[in-house]
Chain A
Amino acid sequence: MIRRRPLLLFATLVGAVYGGRESVQGLPSPPDRAIVHVLNRIGYGPRPGDVERVRAIGLQRYIDEQLHPERIPDTGMTARLAPLSTVAMSAREITEQVELPTIEVRQERQQNAANAAPNAADPPMMDPVQQRANSLVLELSEHKILRAVYSERQLQEVLTDFWFNHFNVDARKGRDRFMVTGYERETIRPRVLGTFRDLLGATAKSPAMLFYLDNWMSADPNGPHAEMGPPRIMRGRFGAIFVPPMPRPQGPNAPHGLNENYGRELMELHTLGVDGGYTQKDVTDVARAFTGWTMPGPRQGNGFIFNPRLHDPGEKIVLGHVIKAGGGQSDGEQVLDILATHPSTATFIASKLVRRFVSDTPPPGLVARVAARFRATNGDLREVTRAILASPEFLSPDAFNTKVKTPLEFVASAVRATGADVQDALPLVRNLQQLGMPLYQCQPPTGYKDTADAWVNTGALVGRMNFAARLAGNKVPGTTLASDEPTNNLALHLGGPAFQRK
């Protein structure tokens, strides 16, 4: 008896959530299992009616559509995201309206603290300026959940999550909280189906990455170097601008020497992979090549700048390639070219994508084919992604329900499955923190793990059951359930073992 009930219950719920066509046993028919699989892997799971819609247009056509998000109308998102005012703010607006006021308040507070006796038991009240600074990451997190739940461009959202995680930055690190909004919107999302080299270059120049991996302050220890040649003309977002010769920055945070952090993670995590065949000497020379790739202070402006005074002008040798002395900013570009076209990069990126879409243990044959596609297309990520989604391994029943959902996938898919209306996503953001996946706050540059071992443990499982109970009981503030399924049945379905898989 005990063994039968859950199966019957599950069957009822599958019917309720996925709708329609059921086989004799009450489980989705084989074609529908493939549809559910695709909706789970290239998106955040089926909503009521999604299986029918995909069945109607055909699974392959649905996948093709998803590979071209720019052709998918997504007008509903505008209204959903409208209340999140900081999400649409430009980098400049964020600096002027949030970061600079925060700095002023902090300086004021430090002055006050210097004049007052410290009182550890009495933490300072959160002022409106600080609240606004904190709201940046919270609103960005809300926006991420809302897109995962409601965007029609599901694959784009999955890929944005994947590539952000691949080029991870932690919003809690200093100035990064002011920069993650622009990082995801301008650096990552528009490029997830572009070329890898373009995405790599964009992250290398993004203030979020320059700050997170410390490259902004990496300098030739033998510098500073005199300004050479004619005044530079820079192309910014507002057209060409004249840049006066830069003084070497002063103060305690000013660059004093080489910092290898970016050089190392660029090869280990972003391109070649840790076994990709580089040495400590390569790390040092890559770091030297990127000296001078920096950013202005919050009062000086926004975006990437190259400061030749910080740059090490000498010759570098990277993975056997000679980068000639005197290359200036092009040193870094040459390194990115070398890395983006290196065979280890193709394999590393292929295996990560296959792990995401197909299996925790990527089939070597598929990885090899996808890596070959990467090399053949110069890292065209649309073609690379397509190679995975069109593979027999991806659509094989052996792949169905083998991956464990991450907390984000679990929460988003639960909300989607119930057809709930989210008016306020902040409580969902808090729930994700409790489930061990605070958005935009993954400390190591590795990003979150994409395998079951990271997410299956007793505490996490209890957390998921509790979230399911809250959602099913309509007790998640800001989220209203559409389902009229009895609360406990729905809780048992969403918190049960089958729903933890995708």
Chain B
Amino acid sequence: MVSRRVFLKNGAFACVSLGFAPSFLQRTALAAGSGRSKQLIAIFQRGAVDGLSVVVPFGEADYYRARPSIAIPVPTSSDREHAAIDLDGFFGFNPRLQALEPLWDARHLAIVHACGSPDSTRSHFDAQDYMETATPGMKNTPDGWLNRYLQTRRPDDNAGATPFRAVALTSQMPRMLEGPAPALAVSQLGQFGIRAGQASDALGAAFEAQYAAAADSRLNATSRDAFNAMRMLKTADPSKYEAEHGADYPRSPFGQALRQIAQLTKANLGLEVAFADIGGWDTHVNQGAAQGQLANRLDDFSRSIAALVTDLGDRMADTVILTMSEFGRAVSENGNRGTDHGHGNAMMVIGGGVRGGRVYGRWPGLAIEQRYERRDLAVTTDFRDVFAEVVVRHLGVQDARPIFPGYGISAARFPGLFG
């Protein structure tokens, strides 16, 4: 039985760099940096992805005992196509994360496993809320943690305020970006603007004046951001965007959202924080293993992220992609070949400055007595320690305490994702 195991092995020994890896993946090229301002791309897997099927603890016999019909086979299985991709001799990728394998091999992708919230809720709604506000157990937090980051870091500290400083590629503003600092929610960049044929400009100007004169402070402020954004987008002309370096985005909504993040980034509109989400992870029924419902979502997820990384090229030196999901799923499969709501989960941190090729965090084990409430993967890394390390060591915030109220931020608890 494996317990209290610390994973700090370097995955690079086990892996050989693949020929098709884009040039930016060479660490030497990244080390110099580019002098660009830092960027964070946050990705939310809504619905609670089953982390044990994403980063598979194939070294645990209990994993296979708990999941007779939905476990991912060990990498040495004769069924190579459906077997886990060995990462470090104990953990493996779901085979449908193949698109991310080169990033792991090049040590630009780190995993934090058994990561999550100290709060025990198994409600999607609450757990997403807690993760997006970074205040577990507190439902009345008015703003999201990314918004508090934006508040902490005054825009004139770096590139200057632009309406595209924080953009969610969603039709509704995610909780994570809600708050007093301006942020933009737009699902289709190309449709952003007043479109009324020949009258567009005149009508836009009249709308702008009307909202500017309104005593309604909320709508007034939102409209100001909207009209500034329209002007900048017009200059950048996103309709002519073509992906670079052979990046091949899936035609899924998620793939297209990430494509638009690349588009905005390269238009140099001052994008600092981007957000996208992807649903379909609430696999209570017929979850599948290397094939099926979950695998199809993972395929979209991983190919979209891989395309974004390829497309951004050497800009990845200044970029971190952070993936998260509100909680993991129960260790044992349920009666419907699915998994019910659980606790600890796996996060990914991808970027040029990331010390990747490692699974971070203490592995608590999957034996019944090692589980949280005897059923779920225990949490050994508070998700706020991951967020905080990204905020401090990547985005360069000196004092992260206001971003994580009520949590004693301590560098000693950082997983060590940035060296």
Chain A residues within CB distance 8 Å of chain B:
2-3, 5-7, 9, 214, 217-219, 221, 252-253, 255-261, 264, 268-269, 274, 280, 434-436, 443-446, 452-462, 465-466, 469-470, 473, 487-488, 491-492, 495-498, 500-501
Task: Give 6 closest A-B pairs by Cβ, nearest first.
Answer: A257-B335, A256-B335, A436-B171, A459-B186, A458-B226, A497-B214
- The number of residues on chain B lying at the interface, defined by a beta carbon within 8 Å of a beta carbon of chain A, is 59
Q: Decide if the interface of chain A is mainly helix, strand, loop or mixed.
A: helix
B225-A458 in contact (CB<8A): yes
Across the interface, which residues of A come within 8 angstroms of B216, CB to CB? 497-498, 501
* Complex-state Cα separation, A218 to B163, whole angstroms: 49
A460-B171 in contact (CB<8A): yes
A488-B125 in contact (CB<8A): no
Q: Mark the stretch among B17-25, B105-113, B187-195 that contacts chain A.
A: B187-195
Across the interface, which residues of A come within 8 angstroms of B267, CB to CB? none
* Complex-state Cα separation, A443 to B46, whole angstroms: 10
B337-A456 in contact (CB<8A): no
Chain B residues within CB distance 8 Å of chain A:
46-47, 120-126, 139, 163, 171-173, 178, 183-187, 191-197, 199, 202-203, 206-207, 209-214, 216, 218-220, 222-223, 225-226, 229-230, 279, 284-286, 334-337, 340-341, 373
* Complex-state Cα separation, A6 to B209, whole angstroms: 8
19 A-B residue contacts at CB 8 Å?
Answer: A5-B213, A214-B284, A217-B336, A221-B335, A253-B285, A257-B336, A260-B341, A268-B125, A274-B125, A280-B120, A443-B46, A446-B124, A446-B125, A454-B172, A454-B173, A458-B186, A462-B186, A466-B194, A497-B219
A461 and B172 contact, Cβ closer than 8 Å, known pairs A214-B336, A217-B336, A274-B126: no
A465-B335 in contact (CB<8A): no
Q: How far is the CB of B276 from chain A (nearest CB, A)?
A: 14
B210-A496 in contact (CB<8A): yes
* Chain A residue, CB-CB nearest to B250: A120
From A217, A436, A488, A501, B202 is in contact (CB under 8 Å) with A488
* Complex-state Cα separation, A381 to B20, whole angstroms: 65
Q: How far is the CB of A288 from chain B (nearest CB, A)?
A: 12
* Chain A residue, CB-CB nearest to B211: A497
Across the interface, which residues of B come within 8 angstroms of A446, CB to CB? 124-125
Across the interface, which residues of A come within 8 angstroms of B229, CB to CB? 458
* Complex-state Cα separation, A353 to B210, whole angstroms: 33
From B120, B225, B337, A256 is in contact (CB under 8 Å) with B337
A457 and B173 contact, Cβ closer than 8 Å, known pairs A214-B285, A257-B335, A466-B195: yes
Across the interface, which residues of A come within 8 angstroms of B196, CB to CB? 466, 469-470, 473, 491
A2 and B334 contact, Cβ closer than 8 Å, known pairs A457-B172, A458-B186: no
* Complex-state Cα separation, A214 to B340, whole angstroms: 11
From A255, A274, A444, A452, B218 is in contact (CB under 8 Å) with A452
Q: Which of A221, A445, A455, A456 has the most CB of B within 10 A?
A: A456
B210-A497 in contact (CB<8A): yes
